[in-house]
Structure formats: structure tokens, C-alpha cells
Chain A
Amino acid sequence: MDTELKTLFIGYGNPGRLDDGLGPAMAEAVEKLALPGVVVDSDYQLTVEDAAEVAKYDLVVFADAAISGPEPFWVKRISATGAHLSFSSHSVDPRGVLGLAKELFKAEPECYIFGIRGYEFNEFGEGLSSGAQANLAEAVEYLKECLHNNNLKEIRPEGGEIYRSAEQHEEDNKCKTENT
């Protein structure tokens, strides 16, 4: 593992909305691994100041819950290119964070997003469903192996895009809480 590489892991979501807490749960799991050179953060959502933090790192990994898509998880490399320009809520998406990091801080870290498949989103409640827990365990193991080998790679479903446009991503996830 390249310990010179400065890595930031950010898991986001609302642990009070069941599987929407997958992002923070992954952050908690990654923090327990105590991987050298990896700083872990978690929050309910991404906001503009994350751009300032992201700009300090070589590698940035986001993790969020996905209401649809492949099981147990997908991984997509993303960049500031195609950042969602219509900022329309208090929160921003990962591409928006990268867009601001590039525009304001002239930083373009290598960046990946994990979409961990969840199943229960529409009630208040703490704790992950059993399916989400299993998917989380696989995602954590994959990240651990990749970072250990300095070889984080995309995992896509067969024959399709995963992280499409920000608008489509929002549409895909419209039944989950928007990290409220």
C-alpha cells in the first residue's frame, strides 16, 4: 500500500433512515481498519466546504446508498467533468464537490464513488437491513483489497452505465431520503 498517497474517504447519508445510513456505516467500518494514509469522514450530505477538504488529497472515495442498480455494490470513477451545474439544494453531489475543488482550489484528485445497494429507505429507523449489511461487508472488503494493492478499479454492471448524469442519479434515488 502506498502510504505516501493521501486518501480521503467520505461516507454520506442519514443513519436515521435505515439503509440510507450505508455511507456513514461504511465510513465507520473503514475507520476501524485504520488504513495508513487514509482519513475518514462522514456526514448526512455533501456540501460546498467538502470541496476545500477534497482539494487536499490525491485520492478521494465517496460512498453512498443506492436504491437501485446492481448488488452488492458498484464503483465508478468520476471527475469534475460534467459537474452538475444547477445547484438546487443545500447539498451538492460528488461531481459538484469535484467541480468546486477544481474551480476554486485548482485541485483534481483521482476520485471514485461506491454505490452500495440498500433496500429499506422510507421509514424513520436506525440500523441496516440484513441485505444492506451483507452488501456493505463486501464493499468494505473490496475497498480494503484495492487500497492495499494500490489498484482501486471500477465495478460496473454488465452492459450499462451506473453513475450517469447527476439528474439521472437523483431520479434513480428519488425514493430515498436526500440525506435529510
Chain B
Amino acid sequence: MVSANQKKITIEPVTRVEGHGKVTILLDENNKVTQARLHIVEFRGFERFVQGRPFWEVPVLVQRLCGICPVSHHLCAAKAMDVIVGADKLTPTAEKMRRLMHYGQTFQSHALHFFHLASPDLLFGFDADVAIRNVIGVAAKYPDLAVQGVMMRKYGQEIIKATAGKKIHGTGAIPGGINKNLTIAERDEFLKDIDQMMEWCRGALKIAVDYTVANLEKVAPFGSFDSNHLSIVREDGAMDLYHGNLRAIDKDGNKIIDQVDPQDYHKVITEEVRPWSYMKFPFLSELGPEKGWYRVGPLARVNVCDFIDTPEAEEARKAFMAVTDGKPNNLTMAYHWARMIELLHSGEKIKELLNDPDLQGDDLVVKGERRGEGAAIIEAPRGTLFHHYKVDENDQVTMANLIVSTTSNNEPMNLAVQKVAQDHISGVAEITEGLLNHVEVAIRAYDPCLSCATHALGQMPLTVTLEDQAGNVLDTKSTK
């Protein structure tokens, strides 16, 4: 509730993120920011929709959740159903086909975000006219770069098509395995272009690094704050985007939890509901809601892992960590740099997998002792994704619980907006377009996918409303 001496600024929706977001900034009588909130209208009907459906349908059904990252939901559900069918260890062909699908998804998603959504901010500056600060503007001024973005996205999408099947009805991953291998012809088609893709990955990484280093003075304080970080890691501490155990570290890199089995996620993470938002706010149980929130996604993953098991990405990680003397990097804008490290890593992994003859194997599915419950975690492009299901003796789903990455980044995005608002809005009674752009830039760094977490409503021009303590509108501005 807004108190008697507070004003409220509302920004809706946040452009260039998925779905319909709205930002509310509360001001006191001196126009100082007291609070900022990113409102996301979570649509939770899906968990009910899945109930009663046969468990083997779920990996296909969950793709309907989100047109942005259907593969992440597809694979995470399939991994949870592996547990249900007792497939504790997949065949090499099944495991590697799924990994190829996943790295293809990460590759195309990170490329799309960098070239399509983030690069206008980095190439033209936060304050540039919105008329040119978009992908068409990039296409006009940097056509080669724009073509690279499109072709990298297409390459990743083609990998998904070859491993998962049709874009709308992907059925590649099934409980206990995969339903196809990769043909020699498909493999050779991807190998033909992989070196070009790698070259473009290096170029994209260089843009992110050069931008961050050259603008460190501006970037360092921008929407930044200390936080915990969470991701899955391999048993030896390596980054692993497909499978691993949970690890969380604090702002200094001290481990809070480590090597927690995905089946036990609910023992270390609690989901809080707050009255002003439909979204859940997950936190690390042992730290409580005030101190237990955490960041997920590329920044968290690069901070959390001990090393990356591909040579070029590992070199890039070392350079990234050197900026903060080996301590976790807590800069919001460092998400872009970390994301490009993962793009390079995904490219290296794709190349490694394409050269692995196991992808042409015929042993595709395993089964074991049937269980009634299964949970799985995968590192989706935007962050850690949890799927948890219970299945009855008739093979019907009786419970589903999903924690999507944007939900985990809910609190950090609120804090990023608050920090930016405090730095750029406090004391200024008038709402300027430049100030709004800064709020958008902070949110975009997280690459939120609201359509995962919401019933997306489409997009309208950005509108800002300033209200006094009585709720009267004092000022309203919209982007063109």
C-alpha cells in the first residue's frame, strides 16, 4: 500500500522483454525512491492443466508454456520423467542427442538476445533515440553483425529441428531417452558451418568484453548490487548446462549449498508468495526470504562454477573473473559478457558433440524401476529451471510444480530497477524518456522471458504514470 506521503510511478510495459511487464516506482514527498517493483502477472493454470494427463505426454505438452524456450521445458520435463520410469542413466546416444539439442537451444537463444535485444543498447548507448536503438537500426548501421545474429539463431534452430523434430510438435526427448539419432547427412550439414559460427561467437564475445571494459566506470554501478548466485554444476564443479547438482554461493564466493541432488531441491529452496505479485519468490531456505534470494542465469553460472570444460570459454571465464580478482562478479551489466562466454561454450560443445560417433548410435531408450515422483533441473538460457511431478498408478500426473528462471530472478530484477531508479530518478519530479530507458536496460540484462511466467498480453507503447499519494495522476509519458 502506498502511504500518505508517497508517490507512485508506473512504467508499463517494459519494452523488448517478453509479455506484459509493468514497473512501479514509489517516491516519497521529496521524490526520493523508496521502492521499485517489476510486476509480472504469472499464469499458473498450466500446472493444473498438466494434472490428469499421462506422464509420457508431459515433455510435449510443456513446450506449450513458452514459444521462446520450449526446448528447455521439453528437456527438463523429459529428465523428470526419466526419474519416473527409473532411467537413472541414459544411453550415450540419448544423453548426447539431448545435450546437442540443449546447446543448440542455448546457442540460438543467447545469439538472439545479444544481437536482437542487447546490442542496440551497447552499440548505440543507453540514451540513443529509440527510433534507431533497435535491431533495424543495427541492421542499417552494422549489417554484417545483424546478418550474423540471424544466421546464428537459424543455425541453433536447425540443430533443434534435427534433434527434437518439428518446431511445434517437438518429440525428440521421451521418458528414458530419445526417439532418434543424428544422421551422417545431418551431422555433415552442421559441421560445414560450425567454424564460421565459432568465429562469429568470438566476435560477439569481443564486442561484449570491449564494451564492458571501455565503459566500466558507467557499467559498474549500473543497477548493480551484491547477491547470492545459484546454478547447477557438475560433480567436479564444472559448468554443465544440461545436468548437475545445485550449488549456491554468496556475494564473496562462499558456498551456501553444494552438490544438492535435484530430487532434494525442495529441501533447500522455499517459494514465497507476496500479496502484490502473482509470481512466486524463491529463496534459499536456510537464509530465509530476506537474505536467501539469489540470481540465476549466465552471470550466476559463470560465478558459481569452478571451471568450464571447453578451452576457449575457460580462457574467457578466467578473463572475466580476473576483473573481480576471482570473486563473484555482481554487476548487472556483466550478464552480457557472461552470456557471450556461454555462447562460445555452446559453440564449442556443439562442435565436440558433432564429432562424436555416439550421435549415430541406435540404442536410444532405457527403463528401470517405476517411481511415483520425479524432479529435474536444467540450466535454461535464462537460468535454472525446475520441474517436479508426481504420477499415480494409472500413469496420470497428480502434481506439477515448476520454478522458471524469470521467477528466480524476480527479486534481483526488482533490486536492479530500484538501484537504477535511485541513481537516475531520485529528486527529479519529472519522468524523462532517458530515465525510463535506463530502467529498461537494467531489466533487459537479465533477458527475462515473461511469457514463461505469464499469460503474455501483447505489447503496447511504454507508458509511465506519476501519481501522488492520493492516486491522482501527476504526469504520464509514453514511448513512441
Which residues of A are in contact with B by a Cβ distance under 8 Å?
14-17, 24, 41-45, 47-49, 51-53, 83, 85-91, 96, 99-100, 103-105, 122-126, 167, 170-171, 173-180
Contact = CB atoms under 8 A, between A and B. Distances in A.
Interface of B: 15-19, 45-46, 49, 61, 63-68, 70, 108, 112-113, 115-117, 130-131, 134-137, 139-140, 143, 146-147, 149-151, 153-154, 157, 166-168, 449, 451-452, 454-461, 479-480
Given A83-B136, A177-B456, A14 B153 contact: no
Given A52-B151, A85-B134, A125-B49, A176 B64 contact: no
Nearest to B154: A49
A51 B149 CA distance: 11
A80 to B, nearest CB: 10
B131 A49 contact: no
B457 A175 contact: yes
A100 B150 contact: yes
Contacts of A41: 167
Given A16-B64, A44-B168, A49-B153, A103 B460 contact: no
A79 B452 CA distance: 31
A12 to B, nearest CB: 9
Given A104-B139, A124-B49, A179-B67, A48 B456 contact: no
Contacts of B136: 83, 85, 87, 96, 99-100, 103
Contacts of A44: 67, 70, 167-168
Contacts of B116: 48, 87, 90
B146 to A, nearest CB: 6
Given A16-B64, A170-B459, 9 more contacts: A15-B64, A42-B167, A44-B67, A48-B116, A90-B113, A100-B146, A176-B458, A178-B459, A180-B455
A170 B64 contact: no
Contacts of B67: 14, 43-45, 91, 179-180
Q: Is the interface of B mostly helix, strand, loop or mixed?
A: helix
Contacts of A49: 108, 150-151, 153-154, 157
Nearest to B49: A124
B150 A15 contact: no
B43 to A, nearest CB: 8
Contacts of A48: 112, 115-116, 135, 149-150, 153
B131 A178 contact: no
A53 to B, nearest CB: 8
B458 A170 contact: yes
B142 to A, nearest CB: 11
Nearest to B17: A89
A34 B175 CA distance: 33
A48 B131 CA distance: 18
Contacts of B139: 100, 103-104
A90 B449 contact: yes
A99 B140 CA distance: 11
Nearest to B116: A48
Nearest to B14: A88
Nearest to B453: A180
Given A43-B168, A178-B457, A180-B451, A103 B134 contact: no
Contact of A90 (B61, B117, B166, B167): B117
B68 A86 contact: no
Given A42-B167, A44-B67, A88-B15, A178 B458 contact: yes
A178 B64 contact: no
15 contacts: A15-B64, A16-B61, A43-B67, A45-B67, A48-B115, A48-B150, A52-B151, A86-B130, A86-B480, A87-B134, A103-B139, A105-B147, A174-B457, A175-B457, A176-B458
Contacts of B18: 89-91, 178, 180
Residue among A53, A83, A91 with max Cβ neighbours from chain B (10 Å): A91
A167 B460 contact: yes
Contacts of B70: 44
Nearest to A17: B64
B458 A171 contact: yes
B2 to A, nearest CB: 27
A149 to B, nearest CB: 29
B46 A124 contact: yes
Contact of A104 (B65, B143, B459): B143
A31 to B, nearest CB: 11
Nearest to B480: A86
Contacts of A87: 16, 116-117, 134-136
Nearest to B479: A86
A111 B149 CA distance: 24
Nearest to A100: B139
A174 B134 CA distance: 22
A96 B16 CA distance: 14
A125 B455 CA distance: 13
A180 B49 CA distance: 15
B16 A88 contact: yes
Contacts of A88: 15-17, 459
Contacts of B157: 49
A53 B461 CA distance: 29
Contacts of A99: 136
Contacts of A105: 147
